[in-house]
Amino acid sequence: TKIISRCRPSKRKALKLNFANPSIKPTTRFTLNTTGTTPFQNSHIERLRSHSMESWGKLKLSSDQHWDFTAEDLKDLGEIGRGAYGSVNKMVHKPSVYIMAVKRIRSTVDEREQKQLLMDLDVVMRSSDCPYIGDCWICMELMATSLDKFYKFVYCSSDDVIPEEILGKITLATVKALNHLKESLKIIHRDIKPSNILLDRKGNIKLCDFGISGQLVDSIAKTRDAGCRPYMAPERIDPSALGITLYELATGRFPYPKWNSVFDQLTQVVRGDPPQLSNSDERRFSPKFISFVNVCLTKEESKRPKYRELLRDPFIQMYEERSVDVAGYFCRILDQMPTQPSSPVFMD
């Protein structure tokens, strides 16, 4: 069993983990069956594996704090999430007293799951210079909650709305993270949704979950059929999923009705008109915000702006310059939310 990245919350009861292993650093490596893959895919998988193996058993908390550590250096504070690959626990690194989220992977993951885990870890480790991507210390930084839990509490439990100025800062951080992935790493995320955007009490907003992100070659994704279908654009490009996410955060509801089948879902997304944000009796938005969300939701990919254009959008520019007490707002809502070991949701 190996410890790698990720943070996210859940309401499950705490799970006591047995860390009897003498060391985190593995003595063997992933063996992936590359039959049926292209030379490009083979070399990419091998690079991911090598990059991850070089960093196992090393903990980097800051530029001047580096630790060689084993599982015995971690104290388990309880489970905060569980998904297809294993569990996520809140833990403290005893020598530094640093609290983080630790993802423990079950030993039975198959080849496809191994590739997704390697991709997730690789993207996070190569994004250390982007403040809008979750930090990686092999174990992952612990955020306070994810936006899906946050907005559902605001709209359903508090009967309130998320202020547009907060939505502006969320939009700014997410677009910057996506632009970094595209321009610096040649990666598209392909699973933008509220549960994959995390926040903390300091007002930080960070993107996570890169397991199904796609490597780009000449701006064309080399992988197929990934992502959460309800957030997919017809061409499955991140800006459209961002538009759906912002619509959901701004209104407190998903823009499409409930589908009876995957066929109904794909038919509506591909053949139907895209959702459009507008003012209503319940909520008024600025023209700049409405314009930004709706341009992201443009159905024709050729008419949908690229990240560089989105970063020049008047709505983004306004919140690039405007000071907003995001931390104060987050803390006020988090103080009202049910107490958990941590709040981020691990997996849908």
Number of Cβ within a 10 Å radius of residue 157:
12
Candidates 135, 191, 209, 238; catalytic one: 191
111 close to 29: Cβ distance less than 8 angstroms: no
Nearest-angstrom CA–CA distance, 34 and 286? 51
Nearest-angstrom CA–CA distance, 20 and 277? 53
Structure tokens at 235: 């061409």
- 103 marked ligand binding residue: yes
Q: Give alpha helix (H) positions in 14-105.
A: 39-55
Nearest-angstrom CA–CA distance, 125 and 66? 15
The percent helix, strand, coil of the chain (3-state, each to 5) is 40, 15, 45
Phi and psi for 214 in degrees, rounded to 5? -110, 135
Cβ contacts of residue 311 below 8 Å, gap of 6+? 175, 176, 179
Cβ contacts of residue 147 below 8 Å, gap of 6+? 170, 194, 195, 197, 198, 199, 245, 249
Nearest-angstrom CA–CA distance, 74 and 23? 11
Query: Could you confirm whether 110 is annotated as catalytic?
Result: no
HSE at residue 136, side-chain half, CA atoms within 13 A, is 27
Structure tokens at 97: 């007293």
Q: Which residues are catalytic?
A: 191
Q: Which residues are annotated as a binding site?
A: 103
Q: Which residues are annotated as a binding site for ATP?
A: 103
